[in-house]
């Protein structure tokens, strides 16, 4: 069903971004992949190209950096002028501390990546989608954007911004065939917490203790589904949590 479609995925070398790239490849979607660590998946890329007979181009891009974003779009092959799916996945949480204890530099990185980076990429792709009168933007938000929690206030604020930006773009595009979806996952066991705790694996593991967390594949499957709906069907938001999670902080853990 998605054969010959074209997708741009940011943050494509790990977690939800990687699994979405892999699942899209398996569904014969041509891929434009951005990541800060794109070399990490260069073997996968070569394998997917051959196995699924698709075009893949990958670039080292830090979405926080506007000139890098502008440069990569300048040198892109015109093949990518009609992207069908933009998956704005690049994002991260840094630290779990009160506002007064949090590192300001961590705030800058979260705001620059999760909000500004998403906007920079969207600003480049949206005019092409409008010109072609087709497309679908899939933003990766979070339950953190729905239910604020202590010690993660700035991260929560960035994901609330993703929700607002998704809503706003959806309003601006109401008279077009372009869809906007905000995916809001809860506990997903990826390197998310390892990044948040700056490599402290023990702290990171604790986040997923006593609960069967979601996997990045679970989220990739939802992304594939929202991308597979009929042209008149727009999935606006998906909030997806493990069965034993009810809000960002209400979690039942088995001992």
Positions in the binding site for ligand 8X3 (CB under 6 A) = 142-144, 186-187, 192, 248
Note if 155 is an active site residue.
yes
Distance, first Cα to last Cα, the chain: 43
CB of 24 to ligand 8X3, least distance (A): 21
Cβ(26)–Cβ(7) under 8 Å? no
Determine the Cα–Cα distance for residues 143 and 161; give it in Å rounded to an integer: 12
Nearer to ligand 8X3, 118 or 143 (CB): 143
Nearer to ligand 8X3, 45 or 154 (CB): 154
The upper half-sphere exposure of residue 85, i.e. CA atoms within 13 Å in the direction of its Cβ, equals: 30
Single out the catalytic residue among 18, 52, 120, 155.
155
| Residue 142 neighbours by CB distance under 10 Å | 27
CB of 112 to ligand 8X3, least distance (A): 17
CB of 87 to ligand 8X3, least distance (A): 16
Nearer to ligand 8X3, 20 or 248 (CB): 248
Nearer to ligand 8X3, 30 or 190 (CB): 190
Helix (H, G, I), strand (E, B) or coil at 139: strand
Nearer to ligand 8X3, 72 or 143 (CB): 143
CB of 231 to ligand 8X3, least distance (A): 30
Determine the Cα–Cα distance for residues 5 and 29; give it in Å rounded to an integer: 5
Token look-up 């809001």 returns: 184
The upper half-sphere exposure of residue 82, i.e. CA atoms within 13 Å in the direction of its Cβ, equals: 7
DSSP symbol at 143: G
Q: DSSP characters for 122-174?
A: HHHHHHHHHHHT--EEEEE--GGGTS--TT-HHHHHHHHHHHHHHHHHHHHTT
For 48-75, letters b (16+ CB in 10 Å) and e give bbeebebebbbbebbbbbeebbeebbee
The number of residues in the chain equals 255
CB of 64 to ligand 8X3, least distance (A): 18
Residues with active-site annotation:
155
């Amino acid at each position: 069903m998605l054969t010959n479609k074209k997708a741009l995925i940011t943050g494509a070398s790990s977690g939800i971004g990687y699994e979405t790239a892999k699942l899209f490849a398996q569904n014969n979607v041509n891929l434009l992949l951005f990541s800060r660590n794109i070399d990490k998946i260069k073997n996968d890329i070569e394998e997917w190209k051959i196995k699924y007979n698709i075009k893949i181009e990958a670039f080292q891009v830090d979405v926080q950096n506007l000139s890098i974003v502008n440069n990569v779009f300048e040198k892109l092959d015109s093949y990518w002028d009609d992207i069908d799916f933009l998956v704005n996945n690049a994002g991260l949480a840094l630290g779990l501390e009160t506002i007064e204890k949090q590192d300001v530099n961590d705030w800058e990185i979260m705001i620059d990546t999760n909000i500004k980076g998403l906007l920079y990429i969207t600003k480049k792709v949206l005019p092409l989608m409008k010109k072609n009168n087709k497309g679908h933007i899939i933003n990766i938000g979070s339950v953190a954007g729905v239910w604020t929690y202590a010690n993660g206030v700035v991260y929560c604020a960035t994901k609330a911004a993703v929700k607002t930006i998704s809503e706003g773009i959806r309003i601006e595009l109401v008279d077009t065939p372009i869809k906007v979806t905000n995916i809001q996952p809860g506990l997903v066991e990826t390197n998310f917490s390892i990044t948040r705790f700056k490599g402290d694996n023990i702290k990171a593991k604790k986040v997923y203790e006593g609960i069967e967390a979601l996997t990045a594949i679970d989220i990739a499957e939802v992304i594939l589904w929202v991308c597979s709906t009929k042209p008149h069907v727009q999935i606006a938001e998906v909030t997806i949590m493990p069965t034993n999670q009810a809000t960002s902080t209400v979690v039942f853990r088995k001992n």
